[in-house]
């Protein structure tokens, strides 16, 4: 159902003559204009919301919910498992988060206020439905009362039935999760983290909450901060999704600002907040600690997300999600590779670590896919310091399209619990509140012959001996709950028994004891040194981590760390050592990093090299002299990681931060010619988007000394000395020179833009003797010259260069970058008819239309009418037409595969074949004809994250379109989405940059096919 919000139009009120005397000095006739809308703050927003064409799995008006008991019959599980209904509407609706407390009671956050906070008005909204509000809401219980509820369900009879319930907290306003601990009920209600006092543990707050954190963003309530959970280190962890921002304030931390997805944590005793890891997972909305304390989350993409390392930076969709907080990261860690069908999306991943289910399911990942209505079982394979994942089989399937699993937990009984949002709609990309707000289910997965049982317990009343015994429990849930009790109590009396457990031959028992000793104030110097030498690598890994969390260690501990690091052979431990070094003071971190490099970790490891770089880079800003001393040690240069990941990045870092003397010194320390080239490459990387004019002569001399395969005058040109410009111009036309030298000089002249080089560059382009690569490079260089005549000249020579497709398209990109150049191109198409409009593919023709010049836009429409986007009515008519065609006869999937390859395969993959310009379509829901027709007719309906095209307007008048491949502080790197030369841009050169709302995929693709080809194509897609 679409809700139409009332809008009141301006009213005019004239005062009667009898009242006029009272207000004669103020006004005779008053005009009052007042806009009223339940959500929108202005008429523009209201109209946009009403007219927005939703994308993705929207509300199906023809579908109705299935009765909870009947819906169970539609589920399919492996033969040795069964699924039971635990809770359903009206007891719960829209469950978003589950957890079990110390008594085994089930806590459920019911996200009924979604999608908009109560009491706020939307002042702006974008095409991803990200919004801005008129103000920051007050922290509950103040301010407007929302509809979110946290409810508690209890199985008092022990028969698996949660027949007793109460609402712990009501009136919440966008609440995403809850956690218990430290005699408080912790509620994540962005922008706040709230703590409700509950000293008696009855689940009912005894007073109003205290605000511990504030500043979590609300721009997109399907990507807000979420998933509160205690870590084994005693910190309270959470996640933030991809399309929100944050500026977190806490009592004892400096404000922390970040954009997009992250894992964060909060220390409630010290009241400090920090980012644990940044990026990854596309839009993470889950948090999982496995039995070793590793962190996983899931992904809104095709895989299972990353294994998050402390202090790590992970991949993001830079254009949509924003840059990393560290502009000197110079790289990011990958998500875990997946061996399996690439189906979107498994946003939540739980690792089953109990013993109720059969062994085939233990220590495996259970991944929720709400888009495709199933739960996947996935195995882990060690890959160096990380993992790859391998899909095994479906755990839960159903024909009920309303099944939307959003949370998964292991219960104290060892069963697996699933929270089901239960709605025909899943997509957030529709601003209208059409959600089915009266449904929701929770299920339980059990062995086929098992009966649910629950013994009565209250771990808050357990003594220290009982808690220590629970650390050996076969169900991870009990071990985690026991650790929470140790953290709540911090009782040193627990240490003797814990030390005894630490001596266990069972490595998991020793690890649990390590965590509990730390939480019980027993993590002293002697114990740390002992644990650093433990035979189990995970115990060693966590010892480094917990010691590093103090941000400094004692001298004996540092000595022990260095000694054990030099002989460390486990990749996971090595990665954590690098992460720990990042947290320590420079005088402790650098010796530890040296020891790590001497241990010869794998330079090809997916994570370690960058973790080492980030540890080293973190010391540059505060202790540069010590960092340079570090490089004076010959042993540092001998490490393979120094050559592959450290030296070049260090030079890039120094140049990017204008630390030129240090850069000169680093060049002087280079041990051989191979490192010379690494450092010189880093020098130029650091200069991307900048010039050399203000660089000091000693640095330029040192670079010139080290640089090979370059002209002796090249560096002088870069620094603004044009004495030898004539030699550079002569070189690019000299066919006796190596092609690479000519290409490099063309690129340099494009950066420097000397007017004297224009004739030579144009001659290169027009010469039949010039290689295509040289012509393409020269055209790319011309784009940067702000010269009106370039358009006319290029239009005149275009017919002679059009035979080479790469050269032709580079020339068209040049014409479409400036309005006056476009007009010169059009004149040759319309007036002289020397140039054929068929030369210009749709994607490049659209660039002309987007130049924001009325004359250019009109000519574009005249030449290429298809660049004008279809209207809503035209799209609806087309969808109806093609649906009738598909339904009118049989299609041949084999023939359809060929149709796909010819019309779609250059950009998209499906069933293993095709291109990579657009997303792999194999994993999308291939049973929904309406979905595929919508996106075939209207490719702009939903542009997948990571495939957006950025539109950049430069201060010199150019317009550039491309995919944002890098966003490192002030340096951006854009690559044309359909191929061509990429371009680095400095932030100082950019006037504006925004995501283009139009896909590179053209409309009207189906118009070129006959009816049988259309039936064949959809037979293949929907097979």
- Assess whether the previous peptide bond of 115 is cis (omega < 30° from 0): yes
Beta strands across the sheet bearing 81-88:
81-88, 441-447, 416-420, 405-410
Listed residue (460, 301, 431, 313) closest to 39, CA to CA: 431
Lowest pLDDT segment from 63-77, 653-667, 942-956: 942-956
15 has a pLDDT exceeding 70? no
SS3 296: strand
Q: Do residues 820 and 854 make contact, with C-beta atoms less than 8 angstroms apart?
A: no
CA angle 236, 182, 148 (to 5 degrees): 70
Alpha-carbon dihedral sign for residues 931, 936, 937, 938:
positive
The confidence score (pLDDT) of residue 137 equals 96
Are 271 and 210 within 8 A, CB to CB? Answer: no
Specify the pLDDT at position 701.
Answer: 87
Kindly give the residue spans of alpha helices, DSSP state H, lying in 95-244.
none
872 pLDDT higher than 80? no
Which tens digits make up the pLDDT trace of 968-1014? 767 787 777 766 667 777 777 788 887 777 777 777 778 888 989 88
Residue 97 has pLDDT above 80, yes or no: yes
Mean pLDDT is lowest, of 49-58, 177-186, 505-514, for 49-58
pLDDT at 216: 97
pLDDT of residue 733 exceeding 80, the answer is: yes
Contacts of 145 (CB under 8 A, 6+ apart): 118, 170, 171, 173
**105: its two tokens:** 């009671």
Check residues 892 and 290 and name the one with the higher pLDDT: 290
Average pLDDT over residues 618-647: 97
Residue bearing the bigger pLDDT, 22 or 869: 869
Sheet holding 971-975, edge to edge: 983-986, 971-975, 959-968, 950-954, 990-995
CA distances from 386 to 281, 605, 612 (A): 15, 8, 15
Predicted confidence (pLDDT) at residue 80 exceeds the cutoff of 80:
yes
pLDDT of residue 276: 98
| pLDDT computed for residue 690 by the predictor | 66
Whether cis (ω within 30° of 0) applies to the bond prior to 141 is yes
Domains of the chain: residue spans and CATH: 68-447 (2.120.10.30), 872-1021 (2.30.30.100)
Q: In a 10 Å sphere around its CB, with 0-12 CB exposed, 13-18 middle and 19+ buried, how is residue 583 labelled?
A: buried
Question: In the block, which residue shows the tokens 């095994």?
Answer: 392
- Does 935 score more than 90 pLDDT? no
CB count within 10 Å of CB 322 equals 18
Place of tokens 């304030």: 249
Distance (Å, whole) CA 963 – CA 949 = 5
Q: Say how far apart CA 55 and CA 579 lie, in whole Å.
A: 41
Other CB atoms closer than 10 Å to residue 1012's CB: what's the count? 16
More confident residue, 993 or 574: 574
pLDDT in the model for residue 28: 39
In the predicted structure, residue 4 carries a pLDDT above the cut 60: no
Cα–Cα–Cα angle for 135, 139, 145, nearest 5°?
A: 85
> Is the confidence at residue 456, as pLDDT, over 70?
yes
In this prediction, residue 20 carries a pLDDT of 35
pLDDT at 744: 86
Residues forming a β-bridge with 847:
none
Q: Do 287 and 298 touch, CB atoms closer than 8 A?
A: no
Residue 139: pLDDT band with limits 50, 70, 90: very high
Q: Across the chain, what does the average pLDDT equal?
A: 89
- The predicted-structure confidence for 714-726, as pLDDT tens digits, reads as follows 878 877 889 989 9
* b/e sequence 415-429, b meaning 16+ C-beta within 10 Å: bbbbbbbbbbbbebb
Question: What is the reported pLDDT for 978?
Answer: 67
Given pLDDT bands bounded at 50, 70 and 90, which one contains residue 689? low
Read off the pLDDT of each residue in 613-625 and give the average, rounded to a whole number. Answer: 97
Band (pLDDT 50/70/90 cuts) for residue 821 is very high
Q: What is the pLDDT of residue 802?
A: 86
Give the pTM: 0.83
The answer to whether the beta carbons of residues 298 and 347 sit under 8 Å apart is yes
Residues 248-279 pLDDT 10s: 999 999 999 999 899 999 999 999 999 999 99
Over residues 297-332, the pLDDT tens digits come to 988 888 898 999 999 999 887 666 778 899 999 989
Q: Contacts by 955-959 with C-beta closer than 8 Å and gap 24+?
A: 955/989, 955/990, 955/991, 956/784, 956/786, 956/989, 957/786, 957/818, 958/783, 958/784, 958/817, 958/818, 959/816, 959/817, 959/818, 959/847, 959/850, 959/851, 959/852
Cα(355)–Cα(475) distance, integer angstroms: 6
Q: Give the pLDDT confidence of 518-558 residue by residue, as tens digits.
A: 999 999 999 999 999 999 999 999 999 999 999 999 999 99
Q: Looking at the predicted structure, is the pLDDT value of residue 675 above 70?
A: yes
Instruction: Return the minimum-mean-pLDDT range out of 176-185, 675-684, 807-816, 973-982.
Output: 973-982
Q: How far apart are CA 310 and CA 583, in angstroms?
A: 10
Average confidence (pLDDT) over 485-501: 98
Is the pLDDT assigned to residue 505 strictly greater than 70? yes
| Percent of residues, the chain, with pLDDT higher than 90 | 62
Q: What is the pLDDT of residues 583-601, one digit of tens each?
A: 999 999 999 999 999 999 9
Highest mean pLDDT: which range of 408-417, 907-916, 964-973 = 408-417
pLDDT score recorded for residue 644:
95
Answer yes or no: is pLDDT of 664 > 80: yes
pLDDT at 700: 86
CA nearest to 396, candidates 72, 53, 671: 72
Query: What three-state secondary structure class fits 458?
Result: coil
According to the model, what pLDDT value does residue 915 have? 76
Query: pLDDT higher for 138 or 455?
Result: 138
pLDDT band at 26; cut points 50, 70, 90: very low
Confidence band, pLDDT 50/70/90 cuts, at residue 850: confident
Query: Which residues lie closer than 8 Å to 858 by C-beta, 6 or more apart?
Result: none
Phi first, then psi, for residue 658 (nearest 5°) are: 65, 30
């Amino acid at each position: 159902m679409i809700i139409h919000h009332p809008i009141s139009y301006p009213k005019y009120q004239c005062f009667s003559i009898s009242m006029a005397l009272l207000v004669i000095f103020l006004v005779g006739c008053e005009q009052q204009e007042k806009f009223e809308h339940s959500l929108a703050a202005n008429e523009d927003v209201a109209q946009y919301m009403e007219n927005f064409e939703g994308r993705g799995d929207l509300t199906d008006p023809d579908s109705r919910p299935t009765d909870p008991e009947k819906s169970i019959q539609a589920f399919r599980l492996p033969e040795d498992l069964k699924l039971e209904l635990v809770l359903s509407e009206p007891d719960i609706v829209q469950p978003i988060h589950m957890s079990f407390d110390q008594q085994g009671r089930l806590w459920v956050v019911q996200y009924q206020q979604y999608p908009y906070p109560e009491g706020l008005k939307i002042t702006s909204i974008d095409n991803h439905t990200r919004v801005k509000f008129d103000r920051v809401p007050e922290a509950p219980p103040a301010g407007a009362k929302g509809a979110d509820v946290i409810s508690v369900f209890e199985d008092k009879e022990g028969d698996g039935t949660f027949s007793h319930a109460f609402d712990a907290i009501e009136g919440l306003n966008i609440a995403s999760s809850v956690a218990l601990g430290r005699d408080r009920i912790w509620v994540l209600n962005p922008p706040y983290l709230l703590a409700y006092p509950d000293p008696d543990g009855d689940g009912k707050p005894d007073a109003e909450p205290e605000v511990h954190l504030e500043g979590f963003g609300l721009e997109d309530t399907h990507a807000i901060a979420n998933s509160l959970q205690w870590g084994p280190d005693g910190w309270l962890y959470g996640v933030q999704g991809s399309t929100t921002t944050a500026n977190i304030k806490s009592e004892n931390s400096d404000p922390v600002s970040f954009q997009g997805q992250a894992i964060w944590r909060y220390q409630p005793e010290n009241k400090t907040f920090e980012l644990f890891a940044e990026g990854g997972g596309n839009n993470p909305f889950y948090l999982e600690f496995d039995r070793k304390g590793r962190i996983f989350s899931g992904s809104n993409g095709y895989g299972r997300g990353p294994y998050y390392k402390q202090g790590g930076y992970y991949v993001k969709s830079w254009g949509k999600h924003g840059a990393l907080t560290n502009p000197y990261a110079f790289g990011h860690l990958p998500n875990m590779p997946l061996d399996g069908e690439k189906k979107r999306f498994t946003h939540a991943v739980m690792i089953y670590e109990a013993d109720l289910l059969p062994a085939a399911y233990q220590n495996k990942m259970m991944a929720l896919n709400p888009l495709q209505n199933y739960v996947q079982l996935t195995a882990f394979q060690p890959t160096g310091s990380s993992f790859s994942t391998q899909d095994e089989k479906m755990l839960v399937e159903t024909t009920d399209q309303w099944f939307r699993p959003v949370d998964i937990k292991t219960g104290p009984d060892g069963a697996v619990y699933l929270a089901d949002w239960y709605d025909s709609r899943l997509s957030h990309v529709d601003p209208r509140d059409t959600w089915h707000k009266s449904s929701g289910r929770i299920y339980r997965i059990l062995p086929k012959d098992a009966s649910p049982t629950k013994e009565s317990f209250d771990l808050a009343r357990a003594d220290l001996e009982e808690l220590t015994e629970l650390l050996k429990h076969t169900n991870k849930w009990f071990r985690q709950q026991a650790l929470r009790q140790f953290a709540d109590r911090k009782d040193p009396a627990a240490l003797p028994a814990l030390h005894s457990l630490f001596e266990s031959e069972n490595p998991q028992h020793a690890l649990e004891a390590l965590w509990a000793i730390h939480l019980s104030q027993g993590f002293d110097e002697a114990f740390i040194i002992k644990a650093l030498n433990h035979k189990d690598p995970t115990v060693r890994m966590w010892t480094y981590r917990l010691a590093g969390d103090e941000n400094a260690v004692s001298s004996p501990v540092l000595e022990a760390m260095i000694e054990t690091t030099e002989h460390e052979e486990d990749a996971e431990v090595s990665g954590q050592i690098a992460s720990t070094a990042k947290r320590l003071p420079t005088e402790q971190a650098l010796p530890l990093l040296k020891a790590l490099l001497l241990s010869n970790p794998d330079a090809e490891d997916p994570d370690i090299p960058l973790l080492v770089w980030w540890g080293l880079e973190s010391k540059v800003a505060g202790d540069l002299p010590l960092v340079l001393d570090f490089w004076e040690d010959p042993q540092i240069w001998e490490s393979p990681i120094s050559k592959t990941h450290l030296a070049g990045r260090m030079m890039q870092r120094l140049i990017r931060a204008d630390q030129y003397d240090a850069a000169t010194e680093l060049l002087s320390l280079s041990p051989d010619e191979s490192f010379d080239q690494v450092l010189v490459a880093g020098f130029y990387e650091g200069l991307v988007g900048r010039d050399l004019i203000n660089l000091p002569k000693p640095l330029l001399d040192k670079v010139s000394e080290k640089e090979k395969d370059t002209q002796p005058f090249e560096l002088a040109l870069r620094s603004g000395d044009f004495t030898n410009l004539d030699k550079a111009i002569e070189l690019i036309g000299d066919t006796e020179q190596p092609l690479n030298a000519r290409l490099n000089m063309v690129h340099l002249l494009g950066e420097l833009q000397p007017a004297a080089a224009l004739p030579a560059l144009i001659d290169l382009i027009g010469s039949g003797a010039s290689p295509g690569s040289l012509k393409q490079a020269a055209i790319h260089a011309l784009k940067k010259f702000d010269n009106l005549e370039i358009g006319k000249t290029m239009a005149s020579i275009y017919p002679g260069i059009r035979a080479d497709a790469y050269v032709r398209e580079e020339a068209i990109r040049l014409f479409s970058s400036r309005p006056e150049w476009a007009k010169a191109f059009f004149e040759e198409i319309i007036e002289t008819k020397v140039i054929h409009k068929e030369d210009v593919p749709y994607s490049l023709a659209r660039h002309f239309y987007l130049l924001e010049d009325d004359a250019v836009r009109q000519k574009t429409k005249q030449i290429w009418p298809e660049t004008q986007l279809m209207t809503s009515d035209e799209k609806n008519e087309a969808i109806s037409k093609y649906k009738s065609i598909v339904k009118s006869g049989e299609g041949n999937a084999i023939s359809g595969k060929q149709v796909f390859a010819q019309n779609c395969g250059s950009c998209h993959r499906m069933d293993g074949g095709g291109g990579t310009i657009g997303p792999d379509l194999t994993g999308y829901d291939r049973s929904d004809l309406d979905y595929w027709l919508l996106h075939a007719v209207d490719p702009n309906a939903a542009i997948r994250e990571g495939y957006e095209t950025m539109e950049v307007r430069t201060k010199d008048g150019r317009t550039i379109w491309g995919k944002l491949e890098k966003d490192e502080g002030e340096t951006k790197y854009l690559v044309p989405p359909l191929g061509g030369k990429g371009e680095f841009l400095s932030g100082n050169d950019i006037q504006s940059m925004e995501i283009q709302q139009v896909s590179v995929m053209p409309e009207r693709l189906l118009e070129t096919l006959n009816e049988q080809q259309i039936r064949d194509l959809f037979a293949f897609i929907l097979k």
